[in-house]
Structure 1
Amino acid sequence: MAIFAADALGGHGDTTEAEAFPDYARAFAAIEASPDQMLYVAERGGEVVGTFQTMVTTSLTRRGSSAMIIEAVQTRADLRGKGIGAAMIEFAIAEAKGRGMRLVQLTSNALRRDAHRFYERLGFRASHLGFKMALK
């Protein structure tokens, strides 16, 4: 969880404090139990250097097709710009194509201008406006 806790901009309240471990363990168990979710880590020299999660959702739009959502993309701050993030996203896109998805989508914090340019370089286009409502 250190890779998420180091992200001050995300503002998700992630931490490496021991009392938070049960929350992360519950989330991991839910992801692991779902056939529509996958959690990935990128390693270099035996160290975790990045992570992302994918979720598959099927909708009545696009003629009932499925889409892959890429979420929680993080590259260790000291290794950004080294191709790790691009490799992770390209892997996710290849997985989606291999599974016959018609769409890959993701959201990015509105303040992350560098991330937006990164995703655009990889072929993503800012096409929608997203909304969120915190419930806790």
Structure 2
Amino acid sequence: MSTATVGTPIPIIRMNIVRESTLHTDQASWYRGLKGDVAKHETVNHEADEYVRGNVTTNTVEGYYSIFKRGMRGVYQHRSERHLHRYLSEFDFRDSYRVACGFDDAARAAKALEGAKGKRLTYRRPN
């Protein structure tokens, strides 16, 4: 059961955003809580069929989230909010090291192995 609410993202965003950032969002009211946390906040108005204005858009993050949601439903049958950061890390890796970013399968595998170097995977035995 999820304990997340609409207010849950605000502290998470505050912990992870660089204050010099420009934040692009839609006009959802809860983003107003981030005023002063970023250098600039620009919005697109989806209600007026505005999805891009110059370089202001939410399409990239919406596409990323769509892939994440489909992956979570299709790949992980038993998932936990406790491990959400791990699922997000995996999807971030997939997005950052895809073919469109100049990585083929060999380069992606080498990067994955580089991340595992010096780490130990341990298993907990069931009680």
Which one has more relative contact order, counting CA pairs under 8 Å at least 6 apart? 1
TM class by shorter chain equals under 0.3
Greater helix percent: which structure?
Answer: 2
Using the size of structure 2 for normalisation, the TM-score is 0.23
Structure with higher Rg: it is 2
More strand per residue: 1
**TM-score w.r.t. structure 1 length?**
0.22
